[in-house]
Amino acid sequence: MKSISLPISEGLFVLIKSLKKSEKRNFKLFINKQTKMDGINTYLRLFNAIDKQDNYNEELLIKKLKFSQRKLAYTKHLLYELVLKSLRHLHDERNPDFKLRTLLANTEILYQKALYRQSYKMLLKAKKLALETENYSYLPDVLRWSAQLFFHSLENSTPQHALGLIEDHKRITAKLNQELILKGIRETIFCFQCKHYVANTSEEQANLELLMNHPLLKLKPDNFSFQAKLAYLEINGMYFQLINHPKKAFQCYEKLVLLWDQNPKFRQLKSERHRQHLFVFLKLGLINRNHLNYLSWFTKFDQTPVVNAQEDTEKQALSLCLKKLYYFLNNVNGYKEGAETLRQSAGSSFTLNYHLSLIYFSQNKPSKALLHLNKVFYHPVTKTLSYKQQGFIKILELLLHYDLGNLNSIDHLHKSVYRFIHKYRKEAGFERMVIKYLKKLYNANNPSPVLLAFEQELRAFSKNLIPWQAFEQELLFTWIKSKIPKDVDQERKPTMLRKSGS
């Protein structure tokens, strides 16, 4: 008999290995209530056998459990479903979405049994929970069942109650429409932000303004639902980042963080989104030189809950980036802790490797920076980035090879970057200027005049014409200044960030 396909088998193995101790304990309690075969719980035997394996070995399972190939395939399929079912039971009490689905399912079951009074009581619980947690997406189903149960509940079959249902429907539909429209705009502008660092062409600015001219964005969000307020503030925060107004963006993210603090239950459920907002808030605060107790905020960021190991690794990378940015902008030397501990868990995460490459570059460790930058190059996400983001990554690679003295690689890399920029020659004026000076720098016997001219032309660029984010701008500016000999006059400070008012 042909074995079950390898991906499914590995899926079960990976699922079991991903379980926490509490989840494994819950599964064992759950599975003991299930049907036993041959007087022994077959599923639990298979679960324990797979859990003890370091690498999935099907032949060893057959030998140890004395299963036929067919029985093993059948049991694995059922075990996979049972593990998921036990996880659903475990998380039911923690997540209002699960509770709402259960209450609505119970409403339908009781209705089919003609137990209308019990069905209506279950429906009232669902409606109360949906309103308390602002889960407006469930309320259309609640209203539908309210109308269906209307004629089966004598105490509620009155004209006044019918009018109340109509008013509820209008009010809830309006709230739901607001939320869905704002979420749609948020996702669209997020995709725009993924494609563009800064909206610095007339076409990009026109497309962005088209999104921002929606009537809902002209209203005050005081009467919006919690999730609609989140979307409203996030839209404005991303918009001000795209038009390079970090101070206004910071104000939006400050309001976002305060809004999360007003709803701790929802913050616990949506911890990843809360952490993203907190990260942007702190990064913008650092870049704007806002007066905050950053060390306290870093602790708060580190204490945000995570749901899995990958999310924990991402959080550590972002935390390290914030701390490095803090020490970098405050001219504190010798901050080296943290990055080394993350190297083993870097994996293939784009976010983690990108931030680590920037951190090592800012610490003048080009070999380690290049190691992580290579992982960024081969990550699938890189192909989806805008030419501005890809251009920065390619220029960073050039800078790292220059620092490492890999002069044999530089000519080849120059040609590669030129071919890349040629595709976007109408929009890539800034990148072309940077490459021009880097080419001169590699061939110069005396680099100081080239570096000073490079620095001067960088200052001449308006902040809205630089298609990189503020930290990347600061890194490039600092790299140039680090190459200028100390005896060369450098009194033309402050840095680019302070001059631009970022």
Looking at the structure, tell me whether residues 28 and 85 fall in a common domain. yes
11, 66: one domain: yes
Domain membership of residue 138 (yes or no) is yes
Q: Is the pLDDT of residue 154 over 70?
A: no
Residues 24 and 86 in one domain: yes
Q: What is the pLDDT of residues 382-411, one digit of tens each?
A: 777 777 778 788 888 888 888 888 777 777
At 502, is the pLDDT very low, low, confident or very high (cuts 50, 70, 90)? Answer: very low
- Would you say residue 38 lies in a domain? yes
Distance CA 65, CA 63 (A): 6
How far apart are the C-alpha atoms of 165 and 301, rounded to whole Å? 44
Residues 6+ apart with CB under 8 A from 273: 230
Answering whether pTM is above 0.85, one says: no
Distance CA 295, CA 214 (A): 39
Q: Where residue 492 falls among pLDDT bands split at 50, 70, 90?
A: very low
Residues 84 and 12 occupy one common structural domain: yes
Cα 258 from chain centre = 20
The pLDDT of residue 33: 66
Peptide bond into 159 cis (omega under 30): no
Most confident of 7-21, 262-276, 355-369, 416-430: 262-276
Least confident of 153-167, 388-402, 458-472: 153-167
Is pLDDT at 121 greater than 90 in this prediction? no
Predicted pLDDT of residue 116 = 84
Give residue 437's identity as a one-letter amino acid code. Answer: Y
**pLDDT band for position 165 (50/70/90)?**
low
CB 65 within 8 A of CB 49: yes
Q: Given the structure tokens 């302070």, which residue do they identify?
A: 498
Most confident segment among 2-16, 160-174, 226-240: 226-240
State the Cα angle at 93 between 89 and 98, rounded to 5°: 75
pLDDT > 90 in the chain, percent: 10
Tokens representing 185 are: 């705009």
Q: Band the pLDDT of 349: cuts 50, 70, 90.
A: low
Q: Are residues 21 and 41 in the same domain?
A: yes
113 in the same domain as 144: yes
Q: Which among 77, 92, 107 is the end of a domain?
A: 92
Bridge-partner residues for 37, per DSSP?
Answer: 40
Q: Is residue 497 part of a domain?
A: no
Most confidently predicted of 102-106, 229-233, 441-445: 229-233
| 152 and 82 in a common domain | no
Is residue 442 one of the residues assigned to a domain? no
Report the pLDDT averaged over residues 199-213. Answer: 84
DSSP H helices, 213-349, are: 226-242, 246-261, 264-269, 271-287, 294-302, 309-329, 339-342
So what's the pLDDT on residue 344?
A: 44
Q: Check whether residue 140 and residue 104 sit in a common domain.
A: yes
Which of the listed residues 157, 179, 197 is the one where a domain comes to its end? 157
Residues 82 and 105 in one domain: no
**Does residue 140 fall inside a structural domain?**
yes
Cis peptide leading into residue 485 (ω within 30°): no
What's the pLDDT at 252?
94
**Residue 79 shares a structural domain with residue 103:** no
Q: Are residues 78 and 106 in the same domain?
A: no
Domain total for the chain?
2
Asked if residue 132 belongs to a domain, the reply is yes
CA separation for the pair 237, 226 (Å, rounded)? 17
In terms of domains, do 85 and 113 share one? Answer: no
On average, the pLDDT of the chain sits at 78
- pLDDT, position 78: 84
Residue 74 has pLDDT above 80, yes or no: yes
Map residue 313 onto helix, strand or coil.
helix
Instruction: Summarize the confidence of residues 420-434 as an average pLDDT.
Output: 75
Domain contains 110: yes
Lowest mean pLDDT among 51-55, 178-182, 227-231: 51-55
Dihedral angle at the C-alpha atoms of 142, 144, 146, 152, nearest 10 degrees?
-140
- pLDDT band at residue 338, thresholds of 50, 70 and 90? very low
> What's the rounded Cα separation, in Å, for the pair 45 and 65?
8
Cα–Cα dist 329/498, whole Å: 11
Q: Are 381 and 353 in contact (CB under 8 A)?
A: no
Q: Find the domain containing 111 and state its range.
A: 96-157
pLDDT 10s digits, 17-62: 878 888 888 888 887 766 554 445 788 888 888 888 888 888 888 8
Q: Which of 104, 132, 157 marks a domain boundary?
A: 157
The answer to whether position 135 is within a domain reads yes
Confidence (pLDDT) at 337:
47
Using a 10 angstrom Cβ sphere, with 0-12 exposed, 13-18 middle and 19 or more buried, the burial of residue 131 is: middle
pLDDT band, very low/low/confident/very high, at 500 (cuts 50, 70, 90): very low
Mean of pLDDT values over 229-235:
94
Burial class (CB in 10 A: 0-12, 13-18, 19+), 319: buried
pLDDT of residue 164: 64
pLDDT the model gives residue 232: 95
